Chains A and B, each alone.
Chain A
Amino acid sequence: MLRVLLLTLSVVAIAHAELCKPDAQNAFKVRLSIKTALGDNAYAWDANEEYLFKAMMAFAMRRYSSKSMTQISNILLCNVTDRVSFWFVVTDSSENVTTVPGSEVEAAIRMNRNRINSAFLLSDKTLQFLKITPTLSPPVEPSTPVWLIVFGVVLCLILAGIVFLVVAGIRQRKKKNKESTERENLEEKCEVTITVENGIPCEALDLKAGHINGVFAADNERFTSL
């Protein structure tokens, strides 16, 4: 009886060894970078973690296909290295000697990638299934690009500045024009009040003497009139 049991166990072990080996059919290599992801909080990879992995794989297979009856014993791990990398296969729950096709396993993992990652506190980059490329999530894009908003603000400031300066310039010009007309009015009143030109009172000056040049006025007769 014992011998039969030993024989079956050894057959199963050999069969398992046949199923799970590097580059076997439907086998996947997994690589974990725990220290890179968690630094000081890194946990050690031991038999318990392997058990969790088997459980997650079984969960993924069950979730993917409702009629799947995958047990933890159906997940075979082999070639565990110090890197923390290993190979695994998923055997058929009904027959222990065939493996589930790789495409199904891949689809199941893709569907549940998030749950698998969070069980190990890792991400797509630190828990790698080497044949399965992760789909990348697009970056968050706001409805209006941010730069347009900033540009609008900058442009409004500039235009406000230009309008302000132009209007101020126009106002200054108007004020100057008003002042010069006021000065002209004052000049007309010059003759009434006592005014000073160059320190000499206007009355002392012969005002007309500045306006008409005696030299040329005398020559008026020489030139022919128009």
Chain B
Amino acid sequence: MCRRHNKDHEILFSRERGAFLIPYFIALLFEGIPLLHLELALGQCLRKGSIRAWNTVSPYLGGVGVGSWMVSVLVSLYYNTVLTWVMWYFINSFQEPLPWSACPLNENRTGFNEECYRSTAVNYFWYRKTLNITPNVTESGTLQWWLILCLAACWAIVYLCTIRGIETTGKAIYVTAIFPYLVLTIFLIHGLTLPGATDGLAYLFTPNLNTLKNPRVWLDAATQIFFSLSLAFGGLIAFSSYNSPKNDCEKDAVTVAIVNSMTSLYASIPVFSVLGFKATTGYWDCLDRNIISIINEFDLPEESIMRENYTAWISFLNSSHPEKIAGLKLKSCDLQEFLDQSVSGTGLVFIIFTQAIILMPGSRAWAILFFIMLFCLGLSSMFGNIEGVFTPLLELRIISKTIRKELLSGIICLICFIIALCFTLGSGSYWIDIFDSYAGTVPLLVIAFFEVIGVAYVYKIKRFSKDVKWMTGRKPNLYWQITWRFISPLLLLIVFLAFVALQIQKPSSYAAWNPKYEGFPMKEEKVYPPWVLAICVLLAVLPCVFVPLVALFNLIKQMCRSKDTSFIQPEVFSCQEANCNFCHPKESIPIVSVCKKK
């Protein structure tokens, strides 16, 4: 059983973590685990990809399969671009000193490049040297050739690992799943020895209950679960269809969820100790700069003011020479403020972490290890997405059987590469944020909602419980019954409505990197123009719209057919019969016997 996890997405797209753990665990318990068990059981029982599986459950629910296939396609497109960025940083980590550690000089060599000087070297490398970002989303800029090269390499790697479907993916997973654990352990040990690590860990584990009042935090927890467990992508159904029918899917579901959460917690420890280290270093830098200004102004001997007696000196000097102190314009240094700098999105990895890595001794090795680990994590999620795209296509009768698997996966990878080229434009990272916020949240909620409703009320829970009993040997207990029937659909509905309400309340805005902005290096808040908003809505609606469309289509077909008297009702099937009658395309048992030599 392939255990996949999507830590990469969590690390890359996570919001502030302090109090995040509480909504995360609630979402896991009432949304994540029931849905996980549902999808695993469904795939194992029906032994098909997501499109045909949902068609088998009920023809009216066929749209759910198509919807999750659509989401897999959209996510695969933009997700690999994030891996491109990771690869770009990885191949740049071989340079000594690291290219993001120092600012480049300006033309006449009298000072540093202005954009870099006003922000930081790390910001400059990310926004200018990597993305070459444009000041707003409407300006597309040009294609960045270095990103195109890395994108081609990433898609080539994905092709290499999925070339023959599950055969090669299964072997690649061994590397991409185990290696990150090794690196995380190394980072854990190193991170705990860094100064300021304990501050970061204290910050992680002391929940700031005020943040729980913000509905955005709950929303993020709920949608994060989908990415974390890869629910509603169709990939899980595809993967579990390769399991033997008598596999204990209930145990698998609980194990996967627990392993996932443990990994999440395990990963957050080095992350937060490094963040604590960075905050402490920033705080010390702030103090040191103030100390130097004071020493220079008052011509005091060096090392007369240290960090420890800084506050005593400040109060003394403020009382004796207040005008001079005021004239120095000292910055107030507060450790809590540094810890609170919650950067969300790709900034967490490419700005904060890279800055922390420069501060560590032996930074080149740490950078290389870190980016390989991120790449492995992201790659294992890509496998799931591509599998969710690949398997239904293989099974649909649209693709003729004569096309070989290698050719099909090559064609899919090529098409995705060409479409993803638009993310390598100057405005690419704005588009990725759009895709992530709209294609990666709402459709998943809607599809998961229809999945649970479909199994609980169309297929009927009693039948499903019987099927699960046939597979695992025991009937699903009260927890599963209650969550499948009531709690999960209700929770999903509430989250969906809250999301829509929040979106309507304030106009969608984004933060743009504009060197000509007065408040630079702060980002400029801009509102999306109407045509971009239309695309956002399209991204969110496109996968969901298949559910009612297919249901309507089948309803019309049914009504036409019911006028025809010779129409026979499709047989009601069960898991047991499904496994006898429907053979999995991969393991077709020859029905005709062969003459054997005695």
Contact = CB atoms under 8 A, between A and B. Distances in A.
A214 interface: no
A146 B97 CA distance: 11
Contacts of A84: 301-302
B365 to A, nearest CB: 15
Contact of B160 (A33, A165, A190, A196): A165
B196 to A, nearest CB: 22
B406 A83 contact: no
Contact of A166 (B97, B102, B303, B406): B406
Interface stretch (A9-17, A65-73, A96-104, A135-143): A135-143
Nearest to B302: A35
A41 B95 CA distance: 33
B150 interface: yes
B94 A83 contact: no
B156 A193 contact: no
Nearest to A163: B160
B595 A196 contact: yes
Contact of A139 (B104, B149, B159, B299): B104
Contacts of B163: 162, 165-166, 169
A83 B92 contact: no
Contact of B156 (A82, A158, A166, A187): A158
Interface residues of A, number: 40
Given A195-B596, A196-B598, A136 B302 contact: no
A219 to B, nearest CB: 23
Contacts of A187: 594-595
B356 to A, nearest CB: 21
Interface string A64-101: 00000000000000000111110000000000000000
A82 B299 contact: yes
B529 interface: no
B302 A161 contact: no
A197 B593 contact: yes
A195 B94 CA distance: 66
B555 interface: no
Contacts of A190: 595
Contact of B597 (A82, A135, A186): A186
A82 B596 CA distance: 102
Interface string A182-197: 0100110010011111
B163 to A, nearest CB: 5
Nearest to A155: B153
Contact of B157 (A31, A33, A138, A158): A158
Contact of A147 (B91, B109, B596): B91
A135 B299 contact: no
Interface string B158-178: 011001100010000000000
B538 interface: no
A160 to B, nearest CB: 10
A36 interface: yes
Contacts of B202: none
B1 interface: no
A170 B172 CA distance: 21
A159 to B, nearest CB: 7
A3 B219 CA distance: 93
A202 interface: yes
B215 interface: no
A4 interface: no
A165 B168 CA distance: 9
B584 to A, nearest CB: 19
Given A83-B295, A155-B153, A33 B597 contact: no
A85 B406 contact: no
Contacts of A85: 296, 299
Interface residues of B, number: 40
Contacts of B302: 33-36, 83-84
B565 interface: no
A224 interface: no
B111 interface: yes
B109 A162 contact: no
Given A151-B150, A197-B593, A158 B406 contact: no
B598 A194 contact: yes
Nearest to B297: A83
A212 interface: no
B499 to A, nearest CB: 39
A193 B150 CA distance: 62
A33 B160 CA distance: 57
Interface string B121-160: 0000000000000000000000000100110010011011
A213 interface: no
A135 B106 CA distance: 11
A190 B296 CA distance: 102
A83 to B, nearest CB: 4
A39 to B, nearest CB: 10
Interface in B583-598: 593-598
Given A31-B296, A146-B95, A135 B157 contact: no
B110 interface: yes
A150 interface: yes
Contacts of A183: 594
Nearest to B111: A136
A195 B595 contact: yes
A162 to B, nearest CB: 5
A183 B595 CA distance: 9
Contacts of B94: 146-147, 150
Contact of A150 (B91, B104, B110): B91
A158 B153 contact: yes
Contact of A135 (B110, B153, B296): B110
Interface in B389-424: 404, 406
B522 interface: no
B406 A195 contact: no
A154 interface: yes
Contacts of B482: none
Given A151-B91, A151-B150, A139 B102 contact: yes
Nearest to B97: A139
Given A135-B109, A155-B156, A186-B595, 18 more contacts: A82-B301, A83-B300, A136-B109, A136-B112, A139-B104, A147-B92, A154-B87, A154-B153, A158-B157, A162-B163, A165-B406, A169-B404, A186-B597, A190-B595, A194-B598, A195-B597, A196-B595, A198-B593
List the 3 shortest-distance A-B pairs measured between CB atoms, nearest first: A81-B299, A82-B301, A83-B299
9 contacts: A136-B112, A146-B94, A147-B94, A165-B160, A166-B163, A183-B594, A187-B595, A195-B598, A197-B595
